[in-house]
Structure 1
Amino acid sequence: MPVSIKRRQFIQYLAIAGTSLSSLSGSLLAASDTSNASSPAMASSGRHMRIIPSSGEKIPAIGLGSWLTFAIDVDDEDELARRIAILREFLQQGGGVLDSSPMYGVAQEVIGKGLKRIGRHDDLFSATKVWTTGNRQGFIQMEASRQLWGLEQLDLMQVHNLLDWETHLPTLHAMKQQKDIRYLGVTTSHGRRHEELEHIMRTQQLDFVQFTYNIIDREAEEVLLPLAKEKGIAVIINRPFQRGGLFKKFERYPLPAWANEIDCMNWAQFFLKFIISHPAVSCAIPATSQIEHLRENIAAGFGVLPDEVMRKRMLAYINDL
């Protein structure tokens, strides 16, 4: 797809990016209280929402990923229609963070086609990434992403897997100042490069970080999650199901009888409620191509969430299986 490059805009980004980052947006605001009250009945009459510390804006605690599930043949109308149905249901259920990346093949194109056909995106929080090296290539790729989504402004732009983050972060700050994006962040996955991510979180101004965390992969509890809360950085969790690995390990076992105490009807909700009940987590982004699975996932963002005692009980049950 040809990309319309605005040369003057690119030069403006470079000029702004060349200034001190401290002058771009000042210190991040102190974190608002995104924690869940530590009580046995952390219930909500509606959808659980989380505060973005740098702005005070709220987002739903359950979003939607697009890795693999939206990598389809865009000329296959049946496959495309199924993905558009997922997007429509997601928005009808209240929307939230929809996460993608140029690395995900045609996922962004599929999303853009879907949003155009649906004709609305008022409940969408658009999140994508830059996944290349160099200022100009980064600008070209980010503009291509915006055009693929069909949006005037993207909500969140992230540096994918920290690739050339030293180059891209100043550009993202410039884009944020110019109101071409609303938030910026960095990502990792598979539990990789936590030390480098920690360094970035301690030294750079970030609105969001994204990394892996689930009921089995809990390394992030040691440093990253407490640090995000301390620094006032919103946290998006990827691989909440280990790309389906958790179901392969545990779905042959019954849910514990006490799962109904936290409104869990299935393993997906058990896994997701464990994640979003962590006080530093803002949003989990499970991916799916099945509407019923989407509904199950979104339902995890309602009802009672586990408190610290219940979280330990959940871990003990998993460890005993």
Structure 2
Amino acid sequence: MLTRIIPATKEALPVIGIGTYRGFDVTLDAVREERLSNVLDALFSAGGTLIDSSPMYGRAEDVVGSLLTRQPRAAPRFLATKVWTSGREAGVRQIEQSFRLLRTDVIDLVQVHNLQDWQTHLPTLRSLKEAGRIRYIGITHYTRSAYAEVERVLNTTPIDFLQINYSLEEREAENRLLPLADDRGVAVLCNRPFGGGDLLRRLRARPLPVWAVEVGATSWAQLALKFVLDHPAITCAIPGTGKPVSMIDNTGAASGPMLTRRQLGELTETT
């Protein structure tokens, strides 16, 4: 799988990961355990490593932690989660709970979810980073109304990662936030790479462009992800899924040629 460099450390990160919202917020039984284990197998087999979760996602952290105990330890994984509460003590308790649920002594990335009380939580995250318990810190959001505050954080506060929405139908981040993150040396995780959910449904009603074969794309999902990855500021896209076939399809965007300028133009006109 293609990789991109995390500016803070020059560590290489595979460009397709997985988001666990909804898809992993389940009660595990034998059927769901097999299905979601196969999702992670598909990610790891393709060379992906990043699994993104949050306390906001219900049972997802616990499900991820449980499934990873059944995975071969040799499989590389990059665990990302979030703090999503107000107040220092509440934040500390929630982060410690994430360590327990994910069944790990080190979390690769902890992000302040939707900027909630970020001024309070970022010092806590820095202390944990200095102690070696987390490796990177960051912030997240997914709505345009928060972009001004996201920009303020990027301009004033050292962080390692920004997680933001970006897709063929939600392109506002490319105006200021993505160039700013690139300039500030901040890695970018792309959430909502398929937009609000209607994008793929609309596109699947149409035939693939004839040039899709030139970039090794066999689905609209792969073309949508190749659009996201075309932006140089994007480090990794994290489409959410609880289906092995979708995970396999998504990872297919991380190999083969990227889009040409002409193809990008045609793709954006299509949507």
User: Normalised by the size of structure 1, how large is the TM-score?
Assistant: 0.82
Check if 1:262 corresponds to 2:262: no
Distance of 2:77 and 2:114 partners within structure 1: 23
TM-superposed CA distance for 1:180, in Å, is 0.7
SS of residue matched to 1:300: helix
Match of 2:16 among 50, 62, 67: 62
The 8 Å contact of residues 98 and 124 in structure 1, kept in 2 or not, is answered as yes
TM-superposed CA distance for 1:154, in Å, is 0.3
Moved over 4 A (4+): none
The 8 Å contact of residues 247 and 267 in structure 1, kept in 2 or not, is answered as yes
Distance of 2:72 and 2:3 partners within structure 1: 25
User: 5+ residue gaps in structure 2?
Assistant: none
Paired residue for 1:290?
Answer: 243
Check if 1:80 corresponds to 2:50: no
Match of 1:209 among 159, 162, 178: 162
Paired residue for 1:252?
Answer: 205
TM-superposed CA distance for 1:81, in Å, is 2.3
The 8 Å contact of residues 72 and 80 in structure 1, kept in 2 or not, is answered as no
Distance of 2:8 and 2:260 partners within structure 1: 25
Distance of 2:63 and 2:145 partners within structure 1: 28
1:90-109 matched pairs, under 5 angstroms: 90-109=43-62
SS of residue matched to 1:140: helix
CA RMSD of aligned residues (A): 1.3
Distance of 2:248 and 2:122 partners within structure 1: 35
Check if 1:167 corresponds to 2:120: yes
CA deviations on 1:89-146 (whole Å, 9 max, x unpaired) are 2222223211000000000110011001124264111000000111111111111101
Report the identity percentage. Answer: 41
Paired residue for 1:131?
Answer: 84
CA deviations on 1:285-305 (whole Å, 9 max, x unpaired) are 011111111111001000000
Distance of 1:192 and 1:181 partners within structure 2: 29
Higher gyration radius (CA): 1
Paired residue for 1:52?
Answer: 6
Distance of 1:310 and 1:181 partners within structure 2: 40
The 8 Å contact of residues 115 and 121 in structure 1, kept in 2 or not, is answered as no
CA deviations on 1:23-47 (whole Å, 9 max, x unpaired) are xxxxxxxxxxxxxxxxxxxxxxxx2
**What is the letter of the counterpart of residue 185 of structure 1?**
G
Distance of 1:170 and 1:122 partners within structure 2: 32
Distance of 1:291 and 1:243 partners within structure 2: 21
Distance of 1:317 and 1:81 partners within structure 2: 37
The 8 Å contact of residues 212 and 240 in structure 1, kept in 2 or not, is answered as yes
**What is the letter of the counterpart of residue 51 of structure 2?**
L
SS of residue matched to 1:289: coil
Paired residue for 1:142?
Answer: 95
**What is the letter of the counterpart of residue 86 of structure 2?**
T
User: 5+ residue gaps in structure 1?
Assistant: 1-46
Out of 103-112 and 244-253, give the one that drifted further: 244-253
The 8 Å contact of residues 8 and 160 in structure 2, kept in 1 or not, is answered as yes
TM-superposed CA distance for 1:195, in Å, is 0.3
Check if 1:281 corresponds to 2:234: yes
The 8 Å contact of residues 142 and 191 in structure 2, kept in 1 or not, is answered as yes
